[in-house]
Structure 1
């Protein structure tokens, strides 16, 4: 079985910050997508695409020059889909692990595709075997169910500017 968890580390750069001097949420979402993609490809052995992100929560800011750590952990598999719980932590590199703080977390879902047709293909199944794993799998399913529940409301939303 491939590893269930992937860790990606990087330094927050000047080009990542918003007008308030903190890392832009869009940059963080890009990093989450990159970490999730690498984890999904490693698990499935296939090209993968993002199909959903749910429950994204920005808890604390990331500052320029922070060491950022993203952990993508497989928490649920479907036939061709993989759900990953992603946590984003940051710290000043001078502070060591004691300065680590949770900044963002979410669930991201990928589907494995064949190439060149781009059709969904089966992924290796994963079954939770500990209480913590079962809790994470339930959390991932609940977060994604919330997103499906809001879709009808969004479809009825009036067009912007109209």
Structure 2
């Protein structure tokens, strides 16, 4: 039911196929897991198919090892008219104990779309707790920063390809 499930956690084991040349799980695998969790969270909140329009501020804090239990937590931290800002924390650790350490975190923005692929309205999320208000306010500040970064990045785009 749309507007009810604000967060989700995906759990799985890091596999040998996820390893980079340095013997740790490679960043591309982690980014795929982040995108999957963001989609599941956004679809659950909006009740609609959702597409990734932005992933940013990705911080790889610690490596993930093969055999680690990985938990990718995704939570709605702000909603616009058609967009959902999803806060992502990736935690990992030995599956034989309960301790998980933060390995990666970021923000992903998803947009709900209709059957024709056009943006469509999502339920509003209203923060209640002090912690949620801080998350929402942070999302708003990050939006303003992205506008400035986008304008700056435009200088790096070569006209005509």
Q: CA shift at 1:158, angstroms?
A: 7.2
Instruction: Give me the whole-angstrom Cα distance separating, in 1, the residues matched to 2:132 and 2:84.
Output: 14
Contact 1:54–1:147 (CA<8 Å) still a contact in 2?
A: no
Give 5+ residue unaligned stretches, structure 1: none
Aligned to 2:134: 135
| 2:41 matches 1:39 | yes
CA RMSD of aligned residues (A): 1.3
Task: Give the 3 Å change call, closer, same or farther, for CA 119–93 of structure 1 in structure 2.
Answer: same
Aligned to 2:109: 109
Q: CA shift at 1:5, angstroms?
A: 0.8
TM-score with structure 2 setting the length: 0.92
Superimposed CA distance per residue, residues 76-98 of structure 1 (whole angstroms, 9 cap, x where no aligned partner): 0000111111000000112x123
Contact 1:54–1:144 (CA<8 Å) still a contact in 2?
A: no
Superimposed CA distance per residue, residues 10-66 of structure 1 (whole angstroms, 9 cap, x where no aligned partner): 111111111000111111010000000011111111111001112111100000111
Instruction: Give me the whole-angstrom Cα distance separating, in 2, the residues matched to 1:154 and 1:142.
Output: 18
Q: CA shift at 1:155, angstroms?
A: 2.0
| 2:123 matches 1:124 | yes
Written as runs of structure 1 = structure 2, the 5 A alignment for 1:65-84 is 65-84=67-86
Instruction: Give me the whole-angstrom Cα distance separating, in 1, the residues matched to 2:136 and 2:74.
Output: 13
Give the number of aligned pairs.
156
SS of the residue aligned with 2:35? helix
